[in-house]
Amino acid sequence: MRPVQSATSNTTTGVLAARLTTNELDYWKLLRDILGGVGQAIAVVWKASRIGDFLLFILSICLFIFKWYIIVVVIVIGIRIIGRVGYWGLPQLWKIYRESRRRKFEEQWRNDEIKRRAARLAELRAKKVADAATLEAAKLQQARREQDIKDKLQREEVMRQTKLKADYKRWEMECDIAFRDKASMTKFPFPPLPRCTDPNCSAFTKLPVPACQHNVKQFFKGSGVFSMEFLYASQINGQ
């Protein structure tokens, strides 16, 4: 090893002496050559000795320690960050969570309240429509009853008028028959009375028809104004 080092040193010294004696080279070139010579010397020493393996071992140990140091530092920093986040962030997160749930509940309550109001309004509208329909049906039924009463009264009035007309026609016919019967013209009263309608009356079978309470009453009911005028004229003549 020493002969090699001696040879290297002699070579380097000779080169430096030759370089220094040359005026054409500048300072930077000289510095490069010096560094190159030092590098060559280190390379020769590195190759000549087994110290490289030891240095690699030391370097690997340093790298291992540095790696785990970095890991531990990262873990510690992460734990501290998590602790800070947990200490300061969890209450904020819990507050945000509660606020979001409160808003969600309020929104749900408002939606439910809107639905309840809509259902209530729909129910009130349906009830109003049903009440209106019931009232309309009651009005129609009342109108039908009133119309039925009016129709009944009208039918009764028509029947009464028909009966009165029939009675008048019968009375007129009986009067016409009596006017044609000259024998009855000499009997009181004039115009002649209709036949008695009561079978138990003594005047029921007599001809010509005598006056009785039944046919006189029937005569007054059927004659109307004419009978009143006749009675009035009879009273005047009697006076």
DSSP 53-82: HHHHHHHHHHHHHHHHHHHHHHHHHHHHHH
User: Is residue 75 domain-resident?
Assistant: no
Domain count along the chain: 2
User: Is residue 124 domain-resident?
Assistant: no
Domain span at residue 35?
1-43
State the maximum Cα–Cα separation within the chain, in Å, rounded to a whole number.
204
User: Is residue 189 domain-resident?
Assistant: yes
Cβ atoms within 10 A of the Cβ of 231, count?
13
User: Is residue 217 domain-resident?
Assistant: yes
pLDDT per residue of the chain (239 residues) written in tens, 0 to 9: 444 444 444 555 555 445 545 544 556 666 677 777 766 766 665 665 556 666 676 778 888 888 888 888 888 888 888 877 777 777 888 888 889 888 988 999 999 999 999 999 999 999 888 888 888 888 899 999 999 999 998 898 889 888 888 877 887 777 666 666 555 544 545 556 677 878 888 877 777 677 787 777 777 666 555 555 665 666 666 55
Label residues 195-213 b or e (16+ Cβ within 10 Å = b): bbeeeeeebeeeeebeebe
Q: Helices (H) and strands (E) in the chain — how many of each?
A: 7, 0
User: Is residue 162 domain-resident?
Assistant: yes
Task: Determine if the pTM surpasses 0.95.
Answer: no
User: Is residue 5 domain-resident?
Assistant: yes
User: Is residue 72 domain-resident?
Assistant: no
User: Is residue 70 domain-resident?
Assistant: no
Separation of alpha carbons 56 and 53, rounded Å: 5
